[in-house]
């Protein structure tokens, strides 16, 4: 089982719609969760961090964390063509042999079409 | 500098040569990560430094790869006897412990 799993997509949504990106993780002691956006040919860029259960909103982005279900999601409201990118879920482990290590999922490709 | 700085931005080397890639993290960041990303692929973890602790080298693909971090700051990733399969973008990131990590612009390595 991969430590962090995401659907690779591609996920295609129309402009103005809500894009929903999902991620599950295997380590129950994970404590820090992040979403990165990566445009083709560029480095990953941090867009959201979340550390406790519930929702966290920042502009058009909402991160949701459910530690009991080991699930973290990212909602993008009013999706724009400029949101088209690969979205990477990342987790920092708080125990075991991977203590403090930042682990990434394989990424979900999002395409927002006009 | 304000961000993570990597050098060189691009490196073309001949098969069998050694290369050194440099990462200058954000000042004060205790954690430093190296990843590799091949074309169209995800991030492959290589190595992780946290303060003065022994580094987590579990992602290094072979003994041709090594990394060090001097004085808790600058890190160098060394690849000996480069092979064509080493061609990729090498990314460095730094963070405070258990918080947001920020990436450098990467080094694109091409082995010919």
CB pairs under 8 A between A and B: 51
A44 has pLDDT over 70: yes
CB atoms within 10 A of CB B72: 15
The C-alpha atoms of residue A23 and residue A21 are separated, in whole angstroms, by: 7
Distance in Å, alpha carbon of B38 to nearest chain A alpha carbon: 11
Window B:5-34, CB contacts with A under 8 Å: 31, 33
B85 has pLDDT over 80: yes
Average pLDDT over residues A4-32: 92
CB B33 within 8 A of CB B93: yes
Confidence tier at A94 by pLDDT (50, 70, 90): confident
Q: Helix or strand or coil: residue A57?
A: strand
Average pLDDT over residues A54-75: 96
| Chain A residues touching B36 at Cβ < 8 A | none
Model pLDDT for residues A48-60, shown as the tens digit of each residue: 999 999 999 999 9
| Chain A residues touching B56 at Cβ < 8 A | 98, 100-101
CB B102 within 8 A of CB B4: yes
Q: Does B52 touch chain A (CB under 8 A)?
A: no
Inter-chain touch B35–A105, beta carbons under 8 Å: no
| Chain B residues touching A104 at Cβ < 8 A | 35, 42-43, 45
B31: tokens are 């954690």
For chain A, what is the mean pLDDT?
93
Q: Does B74 touch chain A (CB under 8 A)?
A: no
- Position B24 scores a pLDDT of 97
Minimum-distance CB partner of A43 among B42, B100, B104:
B104
């Amino acid at each position: 089982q991969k430590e962090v799993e995401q659907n690779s997509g591609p996920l295609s949504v129309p402009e103005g719609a809500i894009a929903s990106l999902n991620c599950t993780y295997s380590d129950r002691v994970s404590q820090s969760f992040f979403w990165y956006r990566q445009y083709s040919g560029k480095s990953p860029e941090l867009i959201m961090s979340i550390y406790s259960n519930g929702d966290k909103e920042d502009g058009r982005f909402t991160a949701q964390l459910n530690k009991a279900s080991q699930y973290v999601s990212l909602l993008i409201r009013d999706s724009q063509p400029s949101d088209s990118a690969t979205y990477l879920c990342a987790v920092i482990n708080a125990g075991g042999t991977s203590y403090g290590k930042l682990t990434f999922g394989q990424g979900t490709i999002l395409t927002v079409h006009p | 500098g304000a961000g993570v700085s990597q050098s060189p931005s691009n490196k073309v080397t001949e098969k069998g040569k050694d290369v050194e890639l440099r990462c200058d993290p954000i000042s004060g960041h205790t954690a430093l990560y190296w990843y590799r990303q091949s074309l169209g692929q995800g991030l492959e973890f290589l190595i992780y430094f946290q303060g003065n602790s022994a580094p987590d080298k579990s992602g290094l693909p072979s003994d041709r790869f090594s990394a060090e971090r001097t004085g808790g700051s600058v890190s160098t990733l060394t690849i000996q006897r480069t092979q064509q399969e080493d061609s990729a973008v090498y990314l460095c990131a730094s963070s405070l412990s258990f918080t947001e990590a920020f990436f450098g612009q990467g080094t694109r390595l091409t082995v010919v």
